[in-house]
Chains A and B, each alone.
Chain A
Amino acid sequence: MKTEVRRRVEHVMGLPVSVALRGRHADDGRADDAWAAVVADLRESDRVFSTYRPDSVISRMSRGELSDVPPEVAEVLAIGERARIASGGVFDVVRDGVLDPSGVVKGWAVERAAAALRDLEDTDFCLSAGGDMVVHVADPDRPDWRVGIEDATDPTRVRAVVPLRSGAVATSGLAHRGAHVVDARTGLAPTRLASVTVLGPDLTRADVEATTALAMDADAPTWLARRAGLAAYLQWADGRTQTLVGLPD
């Protein structure tokens, strides 16, 4: 018999945020409180980091109006800067002189917000924001979460399924929003690679790696091969797929 799954949806940061819960606190007052905390945490991240809000901390910093770097901003910028250095400039949180750490913020914010769900005893969760998710199974007797990977050329279909008990899944692709991922050095969007899904222990990293790999386009397999601790599923524009698994020797 399938374990009962309870679901909730809220729209935050312009994204649909979905949670699936199973177990002791799947559908009680504790679940209500934890979900409210998740949503509040994501809204707070949006207030600080949104590049669409002229009054956000990031927008004000970008204009040189702030004389301080709040700690959560320092953390996000440092993650972005490390990714820039590691990727040789393909990933960058500064674009045309504007501070835009969006490529870091989503994964980081969802990973942080998931903390409220981890506090629910004996409760499994799968928390997804716009297709990037954090997964946790608390009870060894309950089944894996089954994460479908969307078909890059037909978003109404699933191309692959990943059973997961803990960790994160992030997908970067051009299917829904067009060319929003570009190589920061060239400004060019990928043409050969349609979608990159990265599996890893932490959504902060998985999200950055997926975005970077997509921007790398044809060089993505080479790039991902150097990034230990992750697995990846690539969908090429010509319809081929590729599963890459990092294994420290």
Chain B
Amino acid sequence: MKRIATWFLSTVTVVVLMFGYHTSTNSTLSATSQPAFVGSSSTSGSTSSTTKSNGGSTGNSNSNTSSTVTGDVAQTRWGPVQVELTVKAGSVTEVRVLQYPTGNSTDEQINSYALPVLIQETLDSQSANIDMVSGATVTSVGYQQSLQSALDQAGL
């Protein structure tokens, strides 16, 4: 039961260890710089080479028909992925994942890579001396009044 996590509740300052995933530490760094997608040519459809071809993948939007589109196997930074989408009467009825990266869910990729994190609660933003602000999504419209905007202007 190594997935059982221990949790702390803190009010002031907590020093924590955070565990990352083993493969993502390495493969994210390397793989993201060159996303290597293979196994697909841009014009191929669901009936191409690899797996079963499901009927009706004609890609039309006739409101009476159900169309199922099966993608080619895509190589992602986590491994091979294949999905199938079903659209019926103009509505998406199903997304199926036919192939996941095998054998290592994200939980299982965790190893002892540790990242110390210190969360300090602060009541005085003026003295916090921060570089960036993480918050509920700021739209471009709301940006002008945001703390992040003030930070960005200070550094321009």
Contacts and interface: CB of A to CB of B under 8 A. Distances in A.
A226 B136 contact: no
A175 B134 contact: no
B137 A67 contact: no
Contacts of A169: 134
Nearest to B110: A229
Interface of A is mostly: mixed
B132 A149 contact: no
A197 B137 CA distance: 12
A188 interface: no
Interface in A14-71: 14-16, 18, 20, 61-71
A164 interface: yes
Size bracket, chain A contacts = 35 or more
B32 A176 contact: no
Contacts of A62: 87, 92
A112 interface: yes
A212 interface: no
Interface string B28-42: 110011110101101
A157 B74 CA distance: 43
A72 B125 contact: no
Nearest to A129: B137
A237 interface: no
A167 B17 CA distance: 13
Contacts of A225: 5, 7
B138 to A, nearest CB: 5
Interface residues of B, number: 100
B21 to A, nearest CB: 6
Contacts of A230: 18
Given A16-B138, A77-B83, A243-B14, A133 B132 contact: yes
A115 B36 CA distance: 13
B122 to A, nearest CB: 6
A218 B86 CA distance: 34
Interface of A: 5-9, 11, 14-16, 18, 20, 61-75, 77-78, 80-82, 93-94, 96-99, 106, 111-112, 114-116, 118-119, 126, 128, 130-133, 145-150, 152, 155-167, 169-177, 180, 195, 197, 199-202, 205, 221, 224-231, 233, 241-249
Given A64-B59, A201-B18, A249-B6, 19 more contacts: A64-B69, A64-B88, A65-B59, A71-B71, A97-B92, A128-B133, A148-B128, A149-B119, A149-B133, A149-B134, A150-B136, A158-B125, A158-B147, A162-B119, A243-B14, A244-B9, A245-B7, A247-B5, A248-B2
